[in-house]
Amino acid sequence: MTAAVLLAVLALLLTGPAPALLARSDWPYRVPRAAVILWQAIALAAVLAALGSGIALSYSIAGRPGEPRFDPSSPRDLLAAVILAMVALVVVRLLWAIGRVAVGTRARRRRHRDLVDVLATPDGLIPGLRVLAEETPLAYCLPALRGARVVVSVGALDRLDDSELKAVLAHEQAHLRARHDLVLEEFTALHHAFPRWVRSDVALEQARTLVELLADDDARRRNGPRPLARALVALAGAPAPEAALAAAKSATVLRVQRLAGPPANEPTLSAITYAAAAALLVVPTITVAAPIVKAIVDAVS
């Protein structure tokens, strides 16, 4: 019972106070790669802790050693079975959400990519680049395993000089190389896996900001900070399709301020963040595995 309580408390902390506190901190923006891993660890550890709490509670309620593992006439065993069924329901709901988000996102991107290929003009110099005859400034990418696209509009080309355009293209290509879309899919699936009154937008919004910072860092290394900062200001508020990753889609002020300073070099902070992420995953994983391993050992012996 103690393990179940501790895991339940951990799950509550990781779904409420911990994300809220982390979202109000500035230090994750100095180590965006490590911060993304930490957010992933928090989300996964919260799920593992919640599931582990149910498993540990069911195991503690079930029959004592020497008694049958499941007796339909025993209220204790029936309650344990109900708890396990609820845990299984959560797992099924999570898997369903992952599948629905993955299939739906890819379908929207495929339809949008087909539309872009019909309406836009291919660029002869950069593979996958499409120029859209639209006065609204647009710059975004459509990730895919094959046939990824980077889309810019005539309106964006009119606003950006050559160096700014190169910075924007480097930003979008960084998204495609690193497959940041898969990171966002994970957070979107977890977001939709839980009822509205339970889930929070904090983790998903932070993940969106952090992947933009990662793409900014890549573009900065290739083209310098000033062209990208100017491009972000020029494209601020530009719309983007739901399934796309856009250069100026979120946190423009934060990103411009970050580009105005020197590049972050925080190896110690990164190491601490990675260590915290690993610890968050190890603790609930071991606690979840312990009752399962014990049950197997008891059954064998």
In tens, the pLDDT along 149-207 reads 999 999 999 999 999 999 999 999 999 999 999 999 888 888 877 766 666 788 889 99
Q: Determine how β-strand 121-122 pairs with β-strand 129-132.
A: antiparallel
Element (H, E) at 142: strand 139-142
Q: What is the mean pLDDT of the chain?
A: 85
Q: Is residue 71 part of a domain?
A: no
Q: Is residue 165 part of a domain?
A: yes
Mean of pLDDT values over 210-230? 95
Whole-number Å distance between alpha carbons of 97 and 135: 37
- What is the number of domains present in the chain? 1
Which range has the worst mean pLDDT, 63-77, 250-264, 265-279? 63-77
Q: Is residue 35 part of a domain?
A: no
Q: Please report which confidence band the pLDDT of residue 8 belongs to, taking 50, 70 and 90 as the band edges.
A: confident
Q: Is residue 87 part of a domain?
A: no
**Exposed, middle or buried: residue 188 (CB in 10 Å: 0-12, 13-18, 19+)?**
buried
Range of the domain at 134: 122-264
Sheet holding 245-246, edge to edge: 121-122, 129-132, 149-153, 139-142, 245-246
Q: List phi, psi (to 5°) of 24.
A: -85, -5
Q: Is residue 299 part of a domain?
A: no
pLDDT score, position 153: 93
Q: Please report which confidence band the pLDDT of residue 300 belongs to, taking 50, 70 and 90 as the band edges.
A: low
Q: Is residue 96 part of a domain?
A: no
- The DSSP code for 27 is G
Q: Is residue 47 part of a domain?
A: no
State pTM to two decimals: 0.86
In tens, the pLDDT along 223-247 reads 999 999 999 999 987 777 777 887 7
Mind giving me the DSSP string for 56-118?
A: HHHHHHSPPTTS-S--TT-HHHHHHHHHHHHHHHHHHHHHHHHHHHHHHHHHHHHHHHHHHHH
Whole-number Å distance between alpha carbons of 224 and 218: 10
Q: List phi, psi (to 5°) of 93.
A: -60, -40
Q: Is residue 141 part of a domain?
A: yes
